[in-house]
Amino acid sequence: MILPIYVYGQAVLREVAKPVDLQMEGLDQLIDDMYETMKNADGVGIAAPQVGHSLRILIVDGTDIAEDYPELKDFKRIMINPEIIEASEETAEYSEGCLSVPDINCDVVRPKTITVKYINDKRETVTEQFDGFACRMVEHELDHLDGHMFIDRVSQIRRKLLGGKLRRLEARTFRPRYKIK
């Protein structure tokens, strides 16, 4: 089922998400719904807070952008209770956008590589290192689980310049291309 995507200004996007109980009723359905919602909105990542659930779940899928990023040809991950256990001091800058902040893109500096420990959809514990655009995707979604958004990572002057657009998002005076809350 396609769920509404919560956009900038919704309180759930600023909460620190709660750990997931793997025995939670409806967990697999929520994951399926999140994936369907992300694909419907042409996204490459989504976190549970973006669909109104303050839970530590994220999905990233780079297969649709593999033409531009060949290393993402088979890159799809479902992460439950993910945590960064190591991050490089070396950083990289990329332009980011977000389903919860539609029509805004900004350059964001993040660690170049990270190591993440998480539980996958088969309930297996995995520790994996990410770099390149896959790293960027995972870092972006992990931020959502801690109540942060990519616009929090841009300079104050850039945020000031985005003020009008952000106010329109909060006021819902824009035309979304997907179902929002």
Instruction: Tell me the catalytic residues.
Output: 141
The residue whose two tokens read 């900038």 is 8
Sole residue written with tokens 């945590």: 83
Tokens of 145: 């689980």
CB neighbours (10 Å) of residue 112? 17
- Contact (CB, 8 A) for 62 and 76: yes
Using an 8 Å Cβ cutoff, are 112 and 130 in contact?
no
Task: Tell me the backbone φ, ψ of residue 32, rounded to 5 degrees.
Answer: -60, -45
